[in-house]
C-alpha cells in the first residue's frame, strides 16, 4: 500500500499541476495538502448527485470521473471527463449552490477531499492567497471558461471479446502497436502467476492480488494503456473494465449475435453506461468486403462499429485515430468537371502520408468519394467518372424535371452494383437536400448507387430521389461542402466540435459573378442567343440560372464552411468549365500541385508549433 508520505507527495504534485491551485505559494500548498482527506472510489460509484448541497471540493489523484445529467425524459446525457490533476466543486463550495450535475467514477479512483470547515479554516489562515484563487475560479465559472489541467495521464482502453473465438489478443496487440506510433504505449495482457511474481520482485506489487500501485505507475509513465480482457468474467477482466476509459468489444465476422456471461456481468456494472463503447468486427486478412454490420446494432448501443481485417496495420491505425479523436475526415464538394481536382488532392494526401479515415461529399464530390471508399484506384476513378459523364440524358415532358434521369440511375447501378454505403472498410457518406423536410439529409447507409444519385440530382434538372416518403435532391441547395455532417461523424457524442479530429474541406465551386448588362431591362431569349453568336455573354441561360439557384445555399454557407474546417482547400480551377470532362487529367494535375504546396505549409506550421 502507498504510505502516508507518498500520498501527501502525490497530493502536492496534483496541486502543483492544477491551473487554479498551482499558483499558490509553497506554504499554502503544504497547508492545503495537510487537510485534504484521501478517499478511494470504486468504478461505477456515484460521487456527487445533482441538487445535493455543495459542501466539498474534490481533487482527482488517480482514475477518472464522468459528469452526467438526465433530461426531462430521463435520458442519460454524458458530458466531460474529470481527469487526474483536475479539481471540481470550487464554485459550488464558494457560492453555496447545489450540485449542477451527477459525477460518477468511471474507473477505480482516488480523490482528495477538502471539506467546507477546512476550507474556511484555510481562508482565515491565508485570506489573501485563498481569496485570489477562488475569485479566479468564480471568474472562470461565470465566463464558462474553466481551465483544464495540463498534467497528462495515459488514455486507457480495454479490449473485450464477446465470445470465446473473438481473437481479442490480436486486436489488443495490433491496437497497441498502432498506439505506439503515437506515443508511449503499454499492453497489459491477462497475467499468469509467473508474471505476477515477476512484477512483485520488481517492486511493483506488495502482493500478487494488489495491482493498483503498478497500474498507477504505468499511467504516469505512458500515453496509452491497452488492457486485454479474457472471454470469461474473471477478476482480471472485471478489473480491466473498471480501469478503462473506453471499451472496445471484439467479435469475429459472421459470429452469432448472442449475449455471453461476460457481457451480462458487465451490463450489471454501475458504470457501464458511463463508458465510451465501440465494437470491432474482425475479418480475415483476405476479406474483400465487410460482413453485414446491421446484425450487431440490434440490442446494443455503440459509438461506432469498426470492420477490421486481420494483419492489416492500416485498419488498426484508423481505429486508433478514431479512439483518440485524431481521425482525418475529407469532404469533397460539388462542381462538375472541376471536381477532378479532388482526385489530385487525394493523391497528394496519400503521397504526403496524410490518412483518410472518413470521406464524404456532395454531388460530384459524392460520386468521387463513393468510388474512393469502395477502394477504386485514383486513375480508375478518373476513367470511370469521365465515361459516366459522357453518357448524356434524354429530355422528358417537363412536369417533374427537364430530363428523365433513367440513364444516370442505370449507370450508377452498374458502377456500384450491390455495394452498400455502410459496407465499406472506409466510412463514407453522401449529402442531399431534403425538399420534404427542408434540411440536409446525410446518407450513411443503404445502396451506394442510391446515395450518390440523390446527391447528384439537381432540382428541376433530374427528378428527386424518393427515400421513405422524402424527396432528395443535390445537397448544394443548402450546403455544397457538407462540413457540418463530417464534424458530427468525426466527433464523439461527447465532443462534436472543432479540434476533435481534422477536417479537410475541398471546395471546387468557383465563385463566379453572375450578372447582366446594366443596360438590359429584362431577360429575353434573344439576349441569350446573341451571346452565343458574339461569344460575349450578355445574359445567363437556363443552365446558368438553375445551377446558381441550386448552389445558392452553398455560396451563402461558405464562410461557415471555412470556419468549421481545419484545412479549407480551394484549388484554382476557375478556367475550367463545369463540363470540361475531356480536360480531366489537367484538372487532376492542378489539384495535385495546389495540394502539395498547401501541405508543405501545414507541415511547416506544425514544425514551428512543436
As a three-state string, the secondary structure of 175-187 is: HHHHHHCCCCEEE
> Is 109 within 8 Å of 212 (Cβ atoms)?
no
Question: How far out from the chain centre does Cα 339 lie?
Answer: 25
Alpha carbons within 13 A on the beta-carbon side of 77: 9
User: In the block, which residue shows the cell 443552365?
Assistant: 543
List 18, 68, 363, 455, catalytic entry: 363
Helix, strand or coil for residue 286?
coil
Residue 401: exposure state from Cβ atoms within 10 A (0-12, 13-18, ≥19): buried
Distance CA 19, CA 15 (A): 9
List 102, 108, 474, 509, catalytic entry: 474
> Is 45 within 8 Å of 28 (Cβ atoms)?
no
* Nearest one of 527, 437, 530, 434 to 479, comparing CA atoms: 434
Nine-digit cell at 202? 520488481
Look up residue 290 and give its DSSP letter. -
- DSSP strand E in 454-533: where? 465-467, 470-474, 502-506
Distance CA 232, CA 278 (A): 19
* Nearest one of 358, 352, 351 to 372, comparing CA atoms: 358
Q: Any catalytic annotation for residue 292?
A: no
448-455 vs 406-416: helix crossing angle, rounded to 10: 140
Q: How far is CA 111 from CA 42, 58, 569, in A?
A: 11, 6, 47
User: In the block, which residue shows the cell 468504478?
Assistant: 43
> Is 391 within 8 Å of 415 (Cβ atoms)?
no
Distance CA 557, CA 548 (A): 14
Question: How far out from the chain centre does Cα 88 lie?
Answer: 27
Q: Any catalytic annotation for residue 363?
A: yes
Nine-digit cell at 273? 453506461
| Maximum Cα interatomic distance, the chain, rounded to a whole number of Å | 94
Nine-digit cell at 407? 440513364
Residue 263: exposure state from Cβ atoms within 10 A (0-12, 13-18, ≥19): middle
Residues whose CB falls within 8 Å of the CB of residue 20, separated by 6 or more in sequence, listed in order: 87, 90, 133, 136, 137, 140, 147
Distance CA 530, CA 536 (A): 8
Please give the positions annotated as active site: 363, 474
Amino acid at each position: 500500500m502507498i504510505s502516508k508520505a507518498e500520498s501527501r507527495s502525490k497530493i502536492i504534485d496534483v496541486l502543483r499541476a492544477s491551473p487554479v491551485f498551482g499558483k499558490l505559494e509553497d506554504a499554502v500548498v503544504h497547508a492545503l495538502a495537510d487537510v485534504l482527506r484521501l478517499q478511494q472510489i470504486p468504478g461505477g460509484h456515484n460521487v456527487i448527485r445533482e441538487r445535493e448541497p455543495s459542501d466539498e471540493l474534490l481533487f482527482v489523484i488517480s482514475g477518472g470521473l464522468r459528469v452526467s445529467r438526465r433530461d426531462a425524459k430521463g435520458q442519460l446525457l454524458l458530458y466531460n471527463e474529470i481527469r487526474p490533476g483536475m479539481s471540481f466543486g470550487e464554485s459550488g463550495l464558494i457560492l453555496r449552490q447545489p450540485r449542477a450535475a451527477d459525477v460518477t467514477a468511471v474507473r477505480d479512483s482516488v480523490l482528495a477531499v477538502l471539506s467546507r470547515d477546512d476550507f474556511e479554516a484555510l481562508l482565515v489562515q491565508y485570506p489573501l492567497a485563498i481569496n485570489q484563487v477562488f475569485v479566479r475560479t468564480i471568474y472562470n465559472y461565470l465566463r464558462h471558461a474553466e481551465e483544464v489541467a495540463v498534467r497528462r495521464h495515459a488514455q486507457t482502453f480495454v479490449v473485450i471479446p464477446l465470445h470465446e473465438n473473438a481473437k481479442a489478443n490480436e486486436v489488443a496487440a495490433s491496437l497497441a502497436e498502432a498506439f505506439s506510433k503515437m506515443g508511449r504505449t503499454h499492453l497489459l495482457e491477462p497475467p499468469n502467476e509467473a508474471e505476477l511474481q515477476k512484477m512483485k520482485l520488481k517492486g511493483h506489487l506488495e502482493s500478487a492480488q494488489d495491482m493498483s500501485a503498478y497500474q498507477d505507475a504505468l499511467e504516469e509513465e505512458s500515453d496509452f494503456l491497452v488492457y486485454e480482457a479474457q472471454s470469461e468474467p474473471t477478476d482480471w477482466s472485471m478489473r480491466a473494465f473498471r480501469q478503462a476509459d473506453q471499451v472496445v468489444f471484439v467479435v469475429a465476422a459472421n459470429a452469432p449475435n448472442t449475449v455471453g456471461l461476460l457481457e451480462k456481468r458487465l451490463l450489471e456494472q454501475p458504470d457501464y453506461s458511463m463508458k465510451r463503447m465501440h465494437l470491432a468486427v474482425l475479418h480475415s486478412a483476405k476479406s474483400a468486403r465487410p460482413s453485414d454490420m446491421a446484425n450487431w446494432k440490434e440490442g446494443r448501443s455503440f459509438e461506432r462499429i469498426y470492420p477490421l481485417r486481420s494483419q492489416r496495420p492500416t485498419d488498426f491505425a484508423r481505429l486508433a485515430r478514431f479512439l483518440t479523436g485524431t481521425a482525418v475526415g475529407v469532404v469533397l464538394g460539388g462542381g462538375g468537371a472541376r471536381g477532378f481536382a479532388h482526385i489530385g488532392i487525394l493523391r497528394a494526401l496519400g503521397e504526403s502520408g496524410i490518412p483518410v479515415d472518413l470521406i464524404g461529399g456532395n454531388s460530384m464530390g459524392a460520386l468521387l468519394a463513393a468510388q474512393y471508399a469502395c477502394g477504386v484506384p485514383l486513375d480508375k476513378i478518373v476513367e470511370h467518372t469521365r465515361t459516366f459523364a459522357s453518357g448524356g440524358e434524354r429530355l422528358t415532358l417537363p412536369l417533374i424535371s427537364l430530363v428523365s434521369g433513367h440513364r444516370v440511375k442505370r449507370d450508377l447501378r452498374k458502377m456500384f452494383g450491390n455495394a452498400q454505403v455502410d459496407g465499406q472498410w472506409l466510412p463514407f457518406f453522401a449529402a442531399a437536400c431534403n425538399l420534404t423536410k427542408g434540411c440536409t439529409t446525410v446518407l450513411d447507409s443503404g445502396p451506394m448507387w442510391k446515395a450518390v444519385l440523390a446527391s447528384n440530382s439537381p432540382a428541376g434538372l433530374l427528378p428527386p430521389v424518393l427515400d421513405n416518403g422524402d424527396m432528395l435532391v443535390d445537397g448544394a441547395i443548402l450546403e455544397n461542402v457538407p462540413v457540418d455532417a463530417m464534424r458530427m461523424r468525426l466527433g464523439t457524442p461527447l465532443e462534436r466540435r472543432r479540434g476533435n479530429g481534422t477536417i479537410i474541406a475541398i471546395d471546387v465551386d468557383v465563385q463566379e459573378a453572375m450578372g447582366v448588362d446594366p443596360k438590359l431591362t429584362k431577360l429575353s431569349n434573344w439576349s441569350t442567343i446573341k451571346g452565343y453568336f458574339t461569344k460575349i455573354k450578355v445574359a445567363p441561360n437556363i443552365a446558368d440560372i438553375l445551377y446558381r439557384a441550386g448552389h445558392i445555399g452553398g455560396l451563402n454557407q461558405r464562410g461557415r464552411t471555412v470556419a468549421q474546417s481545419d484545412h479549407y482547400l480551394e484549388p484554382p480551377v476557375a478556367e475550367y468549365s463545369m463540363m470540361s470532362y475531356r480536360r480531366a487529367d489537367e484538372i487532376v494535375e492542378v489539384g495535385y500541385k495546389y495540394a502539395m504546396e498547401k501541405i508543405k505549409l501545414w507541415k511547416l506550421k506544425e514544425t514551428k508549433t512543436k
